[in-house]
Chains A and B, each alone.
Chain A
Amino acid sequence: MRVDETTVRRIARLARIKISNEDAKSLEGELSGILDWAEELNGADTTTVEPMTRVVPIELKKRVDEITDGNIADDIVKNAPMVEDHYFVVPKVVE
């Protein structure tokens, strides 16, 4: 699978990572190499195989829907780069 520069840029945009022109060039080759390798999987016959969803056959646990935690707003915003009155501050999104 040949990944071209346009694809690298599209993927980087989806992944929200800014890449330089140089990076885009070297990523073309690196990503193509890894995807070529992934194509070896076509050698495995999976026509009647279910995809794996969990490694241990246990039913996911459920708990009673009740409040077990809370009132920790200070803790939650403690590590945020920009905070105002327990709110995360981000650049303006709505004009």
Chain B
Amino acid sequence: MTDLTKLTIAEARDKLRKKEVSATELTQAFIDAIEVANPQLNAYVRTTPELALKQAEESDRRLKSGDARPLEGLPLGNKDLFCTKDVETTACSKILEGFTPTYRSTVGSNLWNAGAVMLGKLNCDEFAMGSSNETSAYGPVVSPWRRAGADGQLTSENLVPGGSSGGSSAAVAADLCLGATATDTGGSIRQPAALTGTVGIKPTYGRCSRWGIVAFASSLDQAGPLAKTVRDAAIMLRSMASHDPKDSTSVETPVPDYELALAQGVKGLRVGVPKEYRVEGMSPDIERLWQEGIEWLKAAGATIHEVSLPHTKFALPTYYVVAPAEASSNLARYDGVRYGLRVEGKDLIDMYENSRAAGFGKEVQRRVLIGTYVLSAGYYDAYYLKAQKVRTLIKRDFDDAWQSVDVLLTPTTPTPAFKIGEKLDDPMAMYAQDIFTVTVNMAGLPGISVPAGISVDGLPLGLQLIGKPFDEATLFRAAQVIEDAAGHFRVPQRWWETAR
């Protein structure tokens, strides 16, 4: 029998419809795979096998009666940032330990109402603040990818799966779910996708509802899928996206059938290559990959144009003022009164301070403090207001580019995956991971990362496509062309199965 966990969403969907496999068999295959892999990869922080099998049973009933919904019987992982009814949701923070929502996120509801099966909650950086999944209260996620040594054998060093959606990217790459939910505030879907050979799309701000997702920076946060192929990401996004009256920033615009866009090709598409993205310290692998991407799109009939996004150099400092500012305000709600951890003190303020000191990890505290500082009296204009003005300039750069091109092609990250621990004590080096992705959040645009090659030491690399607002369809078209040319990049060896 074929290994069911290796299927793509599209393949599994076909097999379920043709009754070649049942949703229960498929779900059980993932439950078994997770049991073997999770002690080593730490991708899931909580599994929900009983719930999954119950959902699968319902799916099998519907498949049998010809009443299948779009994602019927497809087992997915759910980032721990998404509230799940009666299933603990912690954003991988100690401060939310034990928090069990009485409601579910809109994106989650959309997926489960479409017939998908939830396997469990996926690890992530604490409150999604990080680029390596090392800030999680549950410990780091280990990437299923390992470097190849000079002898061609895999080395035993543990690498990061990217972050903040590192549990999502590792689970998808290691075949521990067919696809996963993720969120992206500065690159948290696209960077982990690039580091694990998976596809991740951050849709336009407002495309997916933020309701029921633990908030980090509200003007930047967006949910999106992480999946094995461009088609799978297209299938998932169609179900995740919706207008939601409960999120006033969600936009009332029809969600197209993205799968239909996949075969449309890029003939005549105008592709921009931003010259400011050729940065110092970019690995030669990434430079080569970028050039290859340009050639593939050209060969498929697209035209290539150099464009300028002159304010790119301000993107990271702008982000690291705006995002912490919004985070410090969003995280003010964790006070030991209404939910989560409480550490008693001599009075009310002392209780707040003790609870937040014990409940927030180091990186979260750092960002809350920076955010508090840039919003405090006397500094608001110099930092926060200034950053919001520069943000306008960054968005204008893109508006200008759209006058002459339809889509932009850039690398997703400046480097391939790095070692666990390598950047943890150097926040600035960690923040630099987001250099190519943050601008997209600042301007609210959609961006997709698609695997496009392998580094000299055998690690996956990704290319990013950036699109006009609500033009995710064009991103899927162009990403499909890159995927067709580059092929798929699967983990060469399931070392965690033999290492036991």
Contact = CB atoms under 8 A, between A and B. Distances in A.
A81 to B, nearest CB: 4
B393 A44 contact: yes
Interface in B157-197: none
Interface string B240-260: 000001001101000000000
B98 interface: yes
SS class of chain A's interface: helix, strand, loop or mixed? loop
Contact of B393 (A46, A76, A90): A46
Contacts of A14: 372, 376
Contact of B386 (A7, A17, A41, A58): A41
Interface in A3-61: 3, 7-8, 11-19, 27, 30-31, 33-35, 37-44, 46, 49-56, 58, 60-61
A7 to B, nearest CB: 8
B389 A49 contact: yes
B351 A15 contact: no
A91 interface: yes
A81 B335 contact: no
Nearest to A79: B339
Interface residues of B, number: 72
Contacts of B354: 18
Contacts of A60: 248-249
A41 B344 contact: no
A60 to B, nearest CB: 6
A88 B317 CA distance: 40
Nearest to B219: A55
A13 B383 CA distance: 20
A52 B395 contact: yes
Contacts of A78: 100, 102
Nearest to B377: A14
From B204, B350, B372, residue with most partner A Cβ within 10 Å: B372
Given A49-B393, A52-B388, A30 B357 contact: no
Contacts of A79: 98-101, 338-340
Interface in B364-379: 365-366, 368-374, 376
A91 B344 contact: yes
Nearest to B396: A49
B348 A63 contact: no
A46 B348 contact: no
From A16, A40, A42, A80, residue with most partner B Cβ within 10 Å: A16
B277 interface: no
B353 A17 contact: yes
Given A41-B321, A51-B385, A90-B351, A34 B395 contact: no
A31 B367 CA distance: 9
B469 interface: yes
B372 A11 contact: yes
A84 interface: no
A13 to B, nearest CB: 8
Nearest to A60: B248
B389 A80 contact: no
A46 B374 contact: no
B357 A19 contact: yes
Contacts of A58: 206, 251
Contacts of A41: 314, 317-318, 321, 383, 386-387, 390
Contacts of A54: 219, 249
B397 to A, nearest CB: 11
A34 B320 contact: yes
B223 to A, nearest CB: 15
A17 B338 contact: no
B62 to A, nearest CB: 30
B296 interface: no
Q: Which 3 A-B pairs have the closest CB atoms?
A: A55-B444, A51-B388, A79-B339
Interface of A: 3, 7-8, 11-19, 27, 30-31, 33-35, 37-44, 46, 49-56, 58, 60-61, 63, 72, 75-76, 78-82, 88, 90-93
Interface of B: 98-103, 204-206, 219, 245, 248-249, 251, 311, 313-314, 316-318, 320-321, 328, 332, 335-342, 344-345, 347-354, 356-357, 360, 365-366, 368-374, 376, 383, 385-393, 395, 427-428, 442-444, 469
Given A17-B353, A55-B219, A55-B395, 9 more contacts: A15-B368, A15-B372, A16-B332, A18-B357, A38-B321, A49-B389, A50-B389, A58-B251, A79-B101
17 contacts: A15-B368, A17-B353, A17-B360, A18-B353, A18-B354, A19-B357, A31-B373, A33-B427, A34-B370, A38-B383, A40-B313, A46-B389, A56-B204, A56-B205, A79-B98, A90-B348, A91-B350
